[in-house]
Amino acid sequence: MILLRFKRAGPIEISDEVEGLLRQYRQREGQNEMGGVLVGWQRDVDDTFVVCDMSLPSCEHKAGKMWFQLNPIFAQSYLDRVFKASSGVICYCGFWHTHPEENPIRSRPDRKVLSDLFCNGKLNFSWQLGLIIGDTGKIYSWCQYEDGTCEQAVCIHNSKAGNSPAINRSTSAIQLSFENFSRFLWGKSRKKPE
């Protein structure tokens, strides 16, 4: 699990499963950039936002060695399925993609993607999470806000915390593990990377 702390957005937890998938899809030599959207839910107990799933790379998106363009129709289809399968509990929270560098940093186009979503979409929050995965698996994270400002996370990595369930809300009867949520959403369990 990765815990990100933001002054304005608050704590954001990236589940073990999502962290594993992000590192699995890091850009290797000769590959194009890849990416997708992030989804999660707000935990009632401590107001932590939990990133519990992500869309996987697809040939539906456009990409080159140093650029990535999300297919909005494909991404919206994924988001609609997640939202419906979770009865509206799990929703869009951000965007992930790879960079062909060891220490990734956000570029002007990376900020523009999130700015455009604020202008063109109906979002549930006043922030969006951006994650960039470097070619060695390092993850750069930031929150971008409606007013155009950005904030880099203070990152606390805690691999001994165990698996974060896809949904574990104290005020909700929904109790799905990542595997069960994945099976419910996709009709099969997505294997967790080794």
CA distance linking residue 88 with residue 20, whole number of Å: 25
Q: Give residue 172's pLDDT band: very low, low, confident or very high (50, 70, 90).
A: very low
pLDDT in tens, 85-114: 999 999 999 999 999 999 998 888 887 777
pLDDT in tens, 16-66: 999 999 999 999 999 999 999 999 999 888 889 999 999 999 999 899 999
> What is the pLDDT at residue 174?
34
At 37 the three-state DSSP class reads strand
- Tell me the average pLDDT of the chain: 81
Edge-first strand listing for the sheet containing 139-145? 150-152, 139-145, 127-133, 91-98, 35-42, 49-54, 10-14, 2-6, 154-157
Q: What does the pLDDT average to over 64-82?
A: 92
CA distance linking residue 18 with residue 178, whole number of Å: 9
Q: What does the pLDDT average to over 115-138?
A: 85
117: left (phi over 0), alpha (psi -120 to 50) or beta: alpha
Global pTM value: 0.80
> What is the pLDDT at residue 158?
56
Q: Which of 31-45, 80-94, 138-152, 160-174 has the lowest mean pLDDT?
A: 160-174
Q: Which positions ≥6 away from 59 have C-beta within 8 Å?
A: none
Are 164 and 50 a contacting pair, CB within 8 Å? yes
What is the set of domains in the chain, with CATH numbers?
Answer: 2-186 (3.40.140.10)
